[in-house]
Amino acid sequence: MRTNHTTVYPKVKICGLTSPEQALSCAELGADWIGLNCWPGSSRYISPEEVRKIVSALPESVTTVGIFVNESPESLEKIMIETHLDLAQLHGDESVELTAKLGVPFYKAFRVSAEFKLEQIQEFGREYFLLDAFSINHYGGSGQKIDWDLASTASGLGKLILAGGLTPENVAEAVKIVQPWGVDVCSGVESEPGIKDLWRVEKFIRNLRN
């Protein structure tokens, strides 16, 4: 009797898209999640109107994520509702107390500094969580790598989305070591901030799944 073995690959999130055309191209290349930056301090920021255009252009099978940094619950919820985003990624210094006030689906991104403790993940108790590199000058998208051994330990705490310095050249090794639920890439597949190099996007997804 033949047994069929189905390989389950990590979900792929391409973050920092700025146009419907590039977002759709990334989805066609195999991206499962598309991240759109709603934080005005980012070089990849797009307005709520632009976010909605991108969300409308994508098939329903693609999960759309809004990236927020220290946004008030009221403002965040308003943007989420107006743009029809599926999930909010909280990438700032948001507290458990603040997130308890949110009435929209969200997960927390943790910037892994020397002081980071795994207990912080458990305090939020969300289905998904993201680990990114800490940078004093950036809330994400810095291109810096995190400690993969630490991330591997964290992968047992829920659906880990691994970010931080991932590229087509290192994603396969990262997945082998960390075994995350998903991977998140931004600057590692860009020609400039907000503009994706679609050849690198294709290579990233191909290397991950091969």
pTM > 0.75: yes or no:
yes
- Cα-based distances in Å from 172 to 2, 140, 176, 197, 204: 29, 21, 6, 19, 9
Q: Tokens representing 34? A: 């598309």
Q: What is the pLDDT along the chain (210 residues), one digit of tens a residue?
A: 444 556 789 999 999 999 999 999 999 999 999 999 999 999 999 999 999 999 999 999 999 999 999 999 999 999 999 999 999 999 999 999 999 899 999 999 998 887 888 899 999 989 999 999 876 665 555 567 888 999 999 999 999 999 999 999 999 999 999 999 999 999 999 999 999 999 999 999 999 998
141: enclosing H helix or E strand: none
Domain boundaries in the chain?
11-209
CATH 3.20.20.70 fits 11-209, yes or no: yes
Determine the angle formed by the axes of helices 48-57 and 73-83, rounding to 10 degrees.
40
- Which residues, 6 or more positions from 209, have their beta carbon under 8 angstroms from its beta carbon? 9, 30
Q: Which of these, 45, 48, 55, lies nearest to 18 by C-alpha position? A: 45
